[in-house]
Homo-oligomer: A and B are copies of this chain.
Amino acid sequence: MDNTIKQIPYHKVEQTSGFWYNWFVTNRDITINSVYNRFKETGRIEAMKHHWKEGDPHKPHIFFDSDLAKWIEGAAYHLHYRRDTALEEKVDEIVNLIETGRDEHGYFNSYFQQFEQDQRWKQRDSHELYCAGHLLEAAIAYAESTGKKLFLNLMIDYMDYIYQVFYVDQNAAFSTPGHQEIELALIKLYRYNGQQKYLDLAAYFVDTRGQESSKYYGKWYAQSQAPVSDQVDAQGHSVRFGYLFASAADLAKERQDIKLFMACQRVLRDVADRKMYVSGGVGSLSYGETFGYPYILPNKEAYTETCASISLAMVYNRMLSLDVDGEYSDLMELELYNGALAGISLKGDSFTYENPLEVIYKDVQFKEIVGAPTRPYARQEVFSCSCCPPNISRLLASLSGYQYGSSEDTIYAHLFSSSKAEIELSAALVGIEQTTNYPWSGEIDFTISMNQKSVWTLAVRIPGWSSSHTITVNGTEITPLIKKGYAFIQRKWEEGDTVHLSLPLEVIELESHPLIAEDAGKVAIKVGPLLYCAEECDNDERLWDYVINKETEYSLEWRNDLLGGVNTVSAMVKMRKGSFEKQGLYRQWSPQYSEKKLIFVPYYSWCNREPGNMSVWFRKEI
């Protein structure tokens, strides 16, 4: 535990232009409103009035409150940067409904209070504590951003009640949440107001897990197969897994718990080494939204929920502050640019829940028509289980909180994005301005400002994907120490010093592990942090019949007009001719090939044009 650093919170960093800034603006101007409107239309706000009756539309569901909570959390982050009366009125209306609806204990749950009064704290798997946790996260963010304390005070009452029931009296029918989330929210509260009881409760929930089972699917499903500190692999529902280990990482940090920290390391090793798609997606099985067997990563059937990638980004961000290591920043970046971002449309108003790595569109269409189980193809504005839309919204609103870390004398730059940050070191209050067109360019400028000249270290991440880099300070190339994926630039800094990091963007062909059956003989294309895919609308329908030549020259082309502006990748490759003179489906092997251009676009941008086939993995000549 000798490598821990501070996370620099979102409110110390402001995006100023470029990739994530654009997403921040889209989120603020489109997503926040769109998600709110859909939630209002689908009864999620009405549900909080606790007057639903048989025959009314939109019967409140067990997770409705959490949907609104995540939406508030995202809205709150935006309010930090720009207050917005209309938006605050919407939040305050919800807060007022909570104040009105809560009972004498401070308990508030739109589902249980209306439909299962006698079932309070009796159904481990009904998301009761999960909703409470999300409400608490929202309340903290809203208090931080606006200074308004009502919501937070309501939630503190609620947490005190939960503390009494679960920690003091221990008279609930279960002892740990079926769906984790409240643990990390409680640690946030502890960090916010310093009251030990909330950390104690969070620790109780984390430490007790593994001693009672979920009624669904068996113990493994909600990571109850063993005490968390003893867990060795990633099992069960992937979002629950993510939230649990985000909490575990926080807890390990708070109490300097090496055993718990090592459990986090072990299970994350298992994820990255055996259970992760090249997109960062996890949870291959739609059944139970769970991790599958090691190395079983089917592309078409991939479940890979958007929320699972978001939850892993949250875990990696926390792990970075426990053990600053470029592998975590690489994985965090992978999730942000790919697994998570694929979940929202470029316009910002529609979403995917599942994120496959291959689509055979006619198969999906056909199955939809006949009613057979299939992945949905089109993005939707709201789902009946609508966890992902507000989750990606709160992520995009809070991405500034993923960019930097610091120790007493070192600033760690994890992510590259044009932004301004203010970071307090023991020697100085440092301002850092990043200017970059990342990920479309690998050129990153840092400009330093300070209240006084001082000696400290700027540790700039050298991404795992880059095969070479150059660093200059005030125009002079330097070769700083590189350790665990970070370049440590120690010097006496002066106002206006500049650092330039150059990471040449290359098209990289990835090979998958030999135990992954599905990708054998195929390559996936990455450029910088971005995974690429090919869509039918840019190519031939038969994406499976392209074969990338042994030696291939790829072109990288900036296309301002395409998909909101992207670098495309293209190459002349072989393609099997489509003629098949014989009747029937099979003939003696005699494929003919011609040269054809294959065009790739960033994976996050797929499913924003005409529907059609999509693939990430392409056959490669050997």
Residues of A within 8 A of B (CB): 217-218, 220, 269, 272-274, 276, 278, 285, 287-288, 290, 292-293, 295-297, 360, 362-363, 365-367, 370-373, 508-518, 520-521, 523-524, 542-545, 547, 574, 576-580, 583-591, 593, 619-622
Would you give the shortest CB distance from A279 to chain B, in whole angstroms?
A: 10
With a cutoff of 8 Å between Cβ atoms, the chain B residues found around residue A547 in the complex are 521, 622
If the complex has contacts A288-B372, A292-B366, A371-B287, are A578 and B509 also in contact, measured as CB distance less than 8 A?
Answer: no
Would you give the shortest CB distance from A396 to chain B, in whole angstroms?
A: 26
20 pairs, A vs B, C-beta closer than 8 Å: A272-B585, A273-B583, A273-B585, A278-B585, A287-B370, A290-B372, A292-B363, A360-B517, A509-B588, A510-B586, A511-B591, A512-B585, A514-B542, A517-B543, A517-B544, A518-B544, A520-B544, A521-B576, A523-B589, A524-B586
Q: Check B520–A545 contact: CB distance below 8 A.
A: yes
Would you give the shortest CB distance from A178 to chain B, in whole angstroms?
A: 17
Q: Check B520–A619 contact: CB distance below 8 A.
A: yes
Q: Check A510–B622 contact: CB distance below 8 A.
A: no
Q: Check B586–A511 contact: CB distance below 8 A.
A: yes
With a cutoff of 8 Å between Cβ atoms, the chain B residues found around residue A621 in the complex are 622
List the 10 closest A-B pairs by CB distance, nearest first: A287-B372, A293-B366, A509-B589, A520-B544, A517-B544, A511-B589, A296-B363, A510-B586, A513-B585, A514-B578
CA distance A49 to B360 in the complex (A): 51
Q: Check B586–A278 contact: CB distance below 8 A.
A: yes
If the complex has contacts A362-B296, A523-B589, A585-B276, are A514 and B576 also in contact, measured as CB distance less than 8 A?
Answer: yes
Would you give the shortest CB distance from A335 to chain B, in whole angstroms?
A: 14
With a cutoff of 8 Å between Cβ atoms, the chain B residues found around residue A542 in the complex are 514-515, 517, 520
Q: Check A512–B586 contact: CB distance below 8 A.
A: yes
CA distance A295 to B621 in the complex (A): 24
CA distance A293 to B278 in the complex (A): 29
Question: With contacts A514-B545, A516-B585, A521-B619 known, what are 17 further pairs, Cβ within 8 A?
Answer: A273-B583, A274-B585, A285-B372, A288-B372, A290-B370, A292-B366, A293-B363, A511-B591, A513-B586, A514-B576, A515-B578, A520-B576, A521-B521, A521-B545, A521-B547, A521-B576, A547-B622
CA distance A508 to B296 in the complex (A): 31
With a cutoff of 8 Å between Cβ atoms, the chain B residues found around residue A292 in the complex are 363, 366-367
If the complex has contacts A370-B218, A588-B508, A591-B622, are A580 and B513 also in contact, measured as CB distance less than 8 A?
Answer: yes
With a cutoff of 8 Å between Cβ atoms, the chain B residues found around residue A509 in the complex are 588-589
Which residue from chain B places its CB closest to the CB of A514 in the assembled complex?
Answer: B578
With a cutoff of 8 Å between Cβ atoms, the chain B residues found around residue A517 in the complex are 360, 542-544
Would you give the shortest CB distance from A526 to chain B, in whole angstroms?
A: 9
CA distance A585 to B512 in the complex (A): 6
CA distance A545 to B365 in the complex (A): 32
CA distance A520 to B541 in the complex (A): 13
Would you give the shortest CB distance from A590 to chain B, in whole angstroms?
A: 6
Would you give the shortest CB distance from A567 to chain B, in whole angstroms?
A: 19
With a cutoff of 8 Å between Cβ atoms, the chain B residues found around residue A587 in the complex are 510-511
Would you give the shortest CB distance from A395 to chain B, in whole angstroms?
A: 24
With a cutoff of 8 Å between Cβ atoms, the chain B residues found around residue A297 in the complex are 585
If the complex has contacts A513-B580, A545-B520, are A370 and B588 also in contact, measured as CB distance less than 8 A?
Answer: no
Would you give the shortest CB distance from A458 to chain B, in whole angstroms?
A: 27
Q: Check A593–B619 contact: CB distance below 8 A.
A: no
CA distance A585 to B589 in the complex (A): 32
CA distance A406 to B510 in the complex (A): 61
With a cutoff of 8 Å between Cβ atoms, the chain B residues found around residue A544 in the complex are 517-518, 520-521
Name the one of B373, B523, B589, B620 contacting A620, with C-beta atoms under 8 angstroms.
B589
Would you give the shortest CB distance from A520 to chain B, in whole angstroms?
A: 4
Would you give the shortest CB distance from A554 to chain B, in whole angstroms?
A: 12
With a cutoff of 8 Å between Cβ atoms, the chain B residues found around residue A276 in the complex are 585
Would you give the shortest CB distance from A582 to chain B, in whole angstroms?
A: 9
With a cutoff of 8 Å between Cβ atoms, the chain B residues found around residue A518 in the complex are 544
With a cutoff of 8 Å between Cβ atoms, the chain B residues found around residue A586 in the complex are 278, 510-513, 524
Q: Check B577–A514 contact: CB distance below 8 A.
A: yes
CA distance A377 to B547 in the complex (A): 33
CA distance A593 to B544 in the complex (A): 23
With a cutoff of 8 Å between Cβ atoms, the chain B residues found around residue A576 in the complex are 514, 520-521
Which residue from chain B places its CB closest to the CB of A509 in the assembled complex?
Answer: B589
Which residue from chain B places its CB closest to the CB of A524 in the assembled complex?
Answer: B586
Would you give the shortest CB distance from A613 to chain B, in whole angstroms?
A: 8
